[in-house]
A and B are shown apart, each in its own frame.
Chain A
Amino acid sequence: MLKLNMKKTTRQSLVTYAIVIIAFVVFQLLSSFGALSNLIEGQLVNLCLYAILAVSLNLVVGISGELSLGHAGFMCIGAFTSAFFSKICTDTIGNDFLRFLIAMVIGTFFAALVGFLIAIPVLRLRGDYLAIVTLAFGQIIMTLINSMYVGIDKNGLHISFSSESALHLEPGTSPIINGSQGITGTPSIDSDYRFFVSILFLLLTLAVSYHFINSRTGRAVMSIRDNRIAAESVGLNVTKYKILTFTIASAFAGLAGAIFSHNIPTLVATTKNFGYDKSIMILVFVVLGGIGSVRGSMIAAALLTLLPELLRSLTFLPDGIRTFVSENRMLIYAVILIVVMIFSNSPRFVEIRARLKAFFRRGTKKEAV
């Protein structure tokens, strides 16, 4: 009975949390029984961080209706600022957990700060122009970090944009950010706890997203998306709401970046990691999951991250087919993407989905009676 009294939005968010928690419990159980392949175990943290990225981009693309192609740029800022912090505080903060948490906060904060600064000029643009500027921003961040050399010795901080030797570090000290070779050996928490912590961060992201969307502010943002002029006419401050949404989204992208940088041994600002490819990939998650749907973005991110890796090792298939699938996995992945896109938007499929929904609804009603 409790269920019926609940608001629809509350129920929705609770279902999403339940999915995350159940997924966590299932994976943990499997992992403790040793039933999970190494490949999947290595993917668990990535699943969470891509889900965080997709859910946060969904705020910009789905809720405020702006097309941003620079999401990976914010991830990059979060990754590098947090890894930088962890590196310089390796000795001063002995507690791994404490250092990790502060690094996460720092990554989130700096990404939010940059997001805020970028949003002020950029959100005056609309549509295609916004997409192009955010795209350029992502590339600029990456190029900047790629040409940056930063080191610390007893004389203080050295920064150079030309070469490692131009830093003039004391002999025996190696730079922290070494240009295009990035940051190596970021200290992190024990890998056994990373999945758990990432799940907590994912839950946090979901909670903030749901609260934001269902709040007065969220409704204001959506009304701007649906009709800007009408929204302005009732006195909504368009710029303020847009900047707010953009900043929150960048903050979570920064958080995802921070998790990312603490989960890999070498952090390099390559196009693969933080470039255009990555931004588009996150956008694909959002679009496939259904623009505006928090749960959809999350599930799409998780499935699409797992899929190409799963195709690597379908061990139950006969050898010949397995090799074929493994070698052509990027092709198969693309075909699956196209098929899913077509299916999820075809009128027939939509009809079937509606029927299924009706079917389940009837079922629950009967139960309720």
Chain B
Amino acid sequence: MKMNLKRMIALILCVVICGALFSSCGAADSDSTTIRIGGIGPLTGSNAQYGNAVKNAAELAVKEINEAGGINGVKLSFNMQDDESDTEKAVNAYNALKDWGMQISLGCVTTDPCKAIVPSTAEDNIFLLTPSASSEDILKDNDNCFQVCFTDPNQGTASAQYIAEHKLAQKIAVIYDNSNSYSTGIFNNFAKEAEAQGLEIVASEAFTADKKTDFSVQVSKAKSSGADLLFLPIYYTEASLILKECDAQGYTPTVFGCDGLDGLLSVENFDTSLAEGVILLTPFAADATDEATQKFVKAYKDAYDGETPNQFAADAYDAIYAIKAALEQSGRTVGTTAADSTGENDADLINGSTSASDICEAMKTGITKIQFDGVTGEGMTWDKNGAVSKEPKAMKIVDGAYTAM
């Protein structure tokens, strides 16, 4: 008896493994009524917040589109694979999605994994629109990758333009983290653009990841330089310490930051009154009062137990709708059967049976044609290179809440 049981288990395991090995045969159910979109992101591990936000928001958007009848009757389906924010796992996840029959890729949520799959997507010619992988490297040497978020350097340029345009200040001090590519990327371009805009950077003080607890030196230098605006292209934890230090030294400049400051109000043991008046350039704030944002936030909260969507969720939500818009503008018709219904699948149609490469070619033209209003910006457009151009939104912290300016 015992032996039989063991044999059974062994047999079952063999069958399972063999089955999985050959699972590619006929796995990609090329059902013409659904277009398959694949996403990759950290659903487990330390960055799981980001991945799950993207997954939730993308699923929400797909559900909304399908409930509204899809795109000319063609439904979307979304499959999110876990990469644990690991480059190697991201490649595996990408291959798994290809086996599933992915036609459009949402790329990876985080930058490094995304860099790892970009060469493969370029080779396979699969259209990639990443919600949040912000490095410039993703757009380099390919024509199939696009971003919903600003590239890191772009944020620097946009910040300087915003400050000059709204005449927030003339003399600027910067405190940045030079051990971090996000921070240095923004700073380098900010410095360039500030010069072009006629702004004066009177102090630029750096710190490193190892020395990010005491900012008294940097703050006193900024203070003595007489800057009336303090630019912080860093993450919110360090920013909260800098704000405390400013308060202690009695220094009250206008504080300006990028999307890294999103989260400042939820730092533990931080007196949020110190953050009063901080301006940050972020594409999305859940408290914003515009209609699109409120509709999205409400739908998201209803769907996911009252959880407030973050910037990643908003980017992903926009990504799915941008894909829809680009498909509609691609110059080819989305639909299951040709309009004259000759019974044969018109070669011009885009649906679940169209090859990923064909869709990619159509999307490349489609996405450059659209002007897209989403929750992370209005009138978003894309250039051939893949970078998004949208009006940066500035938020100001008033009475302990993000308010659109």
A interface residue numbers (CB < 8 A to B): 30, 35-43, 46, 147, 162-165, 178-181, 184, 264-266, 268, 270, 272-273, 306, 309-310, 312-316, 326-327, 329-330, 348, 352
Contact = CB atoms under 8 A, between A and B. Distances in A.
Contact of A272 (B24, B86, B92, B99): B86
A258 to B, nearest CB: 15
A310 B115 contact: no
Contact of B88 (A40, A162, A273, A348): A273
Contacts of A270: 86-87, 112
B81 A312 contact: yes
B277 interface: no
B179 A37 contact: no
Given A164-B184, A266-B112, A35 B100 contact: no
B258 to A, nearest CB: 19
Contacts of B23: 37, 313-316
A162 B95 contact: no
A322 to B, nearest CB: 10
A134 B64 CA distance: 53
B178 A39 contact: no
B87 A36 contact: no
B179 A264 contact: no
B17 A266 contact: no
Contacts of A266: 87, 112, 115-116
B173 interface: no
Chain A interface, DSSP helix/strand/loop, else mixed:
helix
A4 B43 CA distance: 55
B44 A37 contact: no
B92 A42 contact: yes
Interface residues of B, number: 44
Interface of B: 2-3, 6, 16-17, 19-25, 27, 43-44, 81-82, 84-89, 91-93, 95-96, 98-100, 112, 115-116, 118-120, 137, 178-179, 181, 184, 188, 208
Residue among B24, B86, B91, B208 with max Cβ neighbours from chain A (10 Å): B24
Contacts of B16: 314
A173 to B, nearest CB: 15
Chain B interface, DSSP helix/strand/loop, else mixed:
helix
Contacts of A312: 81, 92-93, 96
A151 to B, nearest CB: 15
Given A39-B95, A314-B16, 11 more contacts: A35-B24, A36-B22, A39-B24, A42-B91, A147-B179, A180-B179, A181-B181, A270-B87, A309-B96, A327-B82, A352-B6
A270 B17 CA distance: 31
A36 B91 contact: no
B119 A265 contact: yes
Nearest to B85: A272
Nearest to B188: A165
Contacts of B116: 264-266
Nearest to A26: B21
Contact of B3 (A264, A306, A352): A352
Nearest to B45: A272
Contacts of B208: 162
Contacts of A265: 115-116, 118-120
A37 B24 contact: yes
B98 A38 contact: yes
A264 B87 contact: yes
Contacts of B20: 310, 313-316
A288 B233 CA distance: 48
A330 B208 CA distance: 35
Given A39-B99, A265-B118, A179 B21 contact: no
Nearest to A349: B6
Residue among A37, A306, A330 with max Cβ neighbours from chain B (10 Å): A37
B24 A162 contact: no
A184 B96 contact: no
B92 A273 contact: no
Contacts of A178: 181
Contacts of A162: 178, 208
A337 to B, nearest CB: 14
B99 A313 contact: yes
